[in-house]
Amino acid sequence: MYLCDRVINMRFILCKMALAHNFDKLQKGLFLLDYDGTLVEFTPMPEMATPSKRVLDLLKKLNCRVNTKVVIISGRGYMDMEKYFSQLPISIIAEHGAMIKNDGHWSHINLSPDSWKRAIYPMLRQFALSCPGSFIEEKEFSLVWHYRNALEIDGNIKSRELIQILTSSISSLGLKLLDGNKVIEIMDKSIGKGNATLKYIEENYFDYIVSIGDDKTDEEVFEVLSLNLTAETIKVGPGQTKAKHRLENVDEVLMYLEQIVSDTNN
């Protein structure tokens, strides 16, 4: 897509949303923002994808708006999110909804014991050894196989093999598989961004919602919000989506949010 087309696309979204709602008249608005691939670029190692000063300043300004709530919703481990955003008075939904931070305090949903990890980890280790550049990440409530640093052909082949093997073995353990952006993640089937979003908006009143995300896991959020007339959903990057709108990349997301802050402060 040419630069002028990207600008036109962004202006279309800004104009459409500006016409649809007057932010100054909102009783309570929610910005539900994914992290990796939305607020920060993907990096070879997850710990390298830290929020820039631009991102931190923007989230602070957005959250300081009257009648506005900012929530980061991410698959990242909750300790990573705490390290990155502890200085901001925002809410965080981490580990795909398994961990939630509200009013400065973390809580988790009730889950069955994670003894299943002992059965799945050796399988992931075998694939990590057979696919150079790939590695395993253990979170509080999930196991993740990353293959972003592997040769593309190796990662693609091995990831499909792993999915086929896991699909036949995890259902009896009450687990589900997420086929994400160069990652395969295994977790309790009750966990999900969609369920977390639904619970959050049921417990809190919002008369306007903006959800932005780039990954397959964010499609769960878009689907939950698809029938919500007060919600605007935005897909970042290419690919099929249930979102109503699209932005091309992280920089356009930040430009869009900056425009929202600028418009509502004028």
Active-site residue set:
34
Q: Say how far apart CA 221 and CA 164 lie, in whole Å.
A: 25
Contact 176, 184 (CB under 8 A): no
Contact 74, 35 (CB under 8 A): yes
At 102, give phi and psi (nearest 5°): -130, 135
Please name which of 159, 194, 197 lies closest in space to residue 180, comparing C-alpha atoms.
159
Name every residue whose Cβ is closer than 8 Å to that of residue 246 and which is 6 or more positions away in sequence: 9, 13, 234, 235, 236, 237
